[in-house]
Amino acid sequence: MQLTGPEILRRMQIKNKNNPDAKPDIIIKPFNEKCLGSNSYDLHLGNLLKIYRKTLPRGMNPIIPYCPGKMYSMRDWFNNYDSYLDFIARPWEFDIRNPQYILDPCDTTSHETIDIEIPKNGGILSPMIGYLGHTVEYTETYNLFPYIDGKSSVGRNFILNHHTAGRGDDGFCGQWTLEIRTLYPTVVYPNMRIAQIYYEEFTGERKPYNQNTTSHYNGQMGPTPAAIIPIENIKQKQR
């Protein structure tokens, strides 16, 4: 059962003696009641992005500072003219389908990152690049199932803010990492509304995320790269 906006606010104001330090079931910092919706709370985009170093074509700018009224071209994606000429001569080397940009989920070298600050006046993201972003808001959730999804207006600008990873856990504490992709070159701004957080009640015995020794992301702040996905020896039944 999904919580309404007023119920979210109520659960933020009531201390629960069964939680750590008798905290409320829902904590959102910073909190602005204007961002409280019918059954969700709006979250904002932080000013820091990360990209995986291996996925950035050489000589390419990962973000373009936005100047309203300026006429842009492909040249603006490159940090020097020689790199742009290289792109013109060998476009296949800059195609993200090229296996040279391979990511290995089980290898730490795939998760080396480059930090990017979104300019105060906005930055243009490339459809060629996947960005790790984060919410401004820090949240804690107890006895509820939290999850985030895109706002309608964000979706209608063809900004994808998570790849299957919009689901949280009972006991999760931290900022939310966003996996951002755009369909077109698209401007994003620090502190723009980027997502909505929802809360659902659940049944069954609890297994809080913050008490799970195998959890990877509890307490995360800022955009957090992927943890290594283990390869496990699981015996499969023969047919």
237 domain-assigned: no
Whether the per-residue pLDDT at 118 is higher than 90: the answer is yes
Active-site annotation, residues: 179
The answer to whether 25 touches 91, Cβ cutoff 8 Å, is no
Three-state DSSP state, 29: strand
pTM for this entry = 0.90
Query: Tokens for 222?
Result: 């800022």
Mean pLDDT of the region 98-112: 93
233 domain-assigned: no
203 domain-assigned: yes
Mean pLDDT of the region 109-122: 95
How far is it, in rounded angstroms, from Cα 212 to Cα 216? 9
pLDDT at 230: 86
Mean pLDDT for all residues in the chain: 92
93 domain-assigned: yes
- Candidates 170, 111, 121, 107; CA nearest to 142 is 170
39 domain-assigned: yes
How far is it, in rounded angstroms, from Cα 185 to Cα 173? 33
Whether the per-residue pLDDT at 56 is higher than 80: the answer is yes
How far is it, in rounded angstroms, from Cα 46 to Cα 27? 18
* Tokens 């490159």 sit on residue: 78
234 domain-assigned: no
Q: How many CB atoms lie within 10 A of CB 184?
A: 11
How far is it, in rounded angstroms, from Cα 225 to Cα 87? 28
What are the pLDDT digits (tens) for 145-203?
999 998 889 999 999 988 877 788 889 999 999 999 999 999 999 999 999 999 999 88
For 147-215, give the DSSP string.
EEE--HHHHTTTEE--SS--B--TT-EEEEEEEEEESS-EEE-TT-EEEEEEEE---S----GGG-TT-
Query: Domain span at residue 179?
Result: 1-224
Rg from Cα positions in the chain: 20
What are the pLDDT digits (tens) for 36-47?
999 999 999 999
The answer to whether 149 touches 179, Cβ cutoff 8 Å, is no
CATH number reported for the structural domain that contains residue 39 in this entry? 2.70.40.10
pLDDT at 164: 73
56 domain-assigned: yes
Whether the per-residue pLDDT at 239 is higher than 70: the answer is no
238 domain-assigned: no
7 confidence band (pLDDT: 50, 70, 90): very high
What are the pLDDT digits (tens) for 209-224?
777 777 778 778 999 9
Percentage of residues of the chain with pLDDT beyond 70 = 99
pLDDT at 220: 82
pLDDT at 123: 98
Whether the per-residue pLDDT at 235 is higher than 80: the answer is no
* Tokens 């020896």 sit on residue: 233
Number of domains in the chain: 1
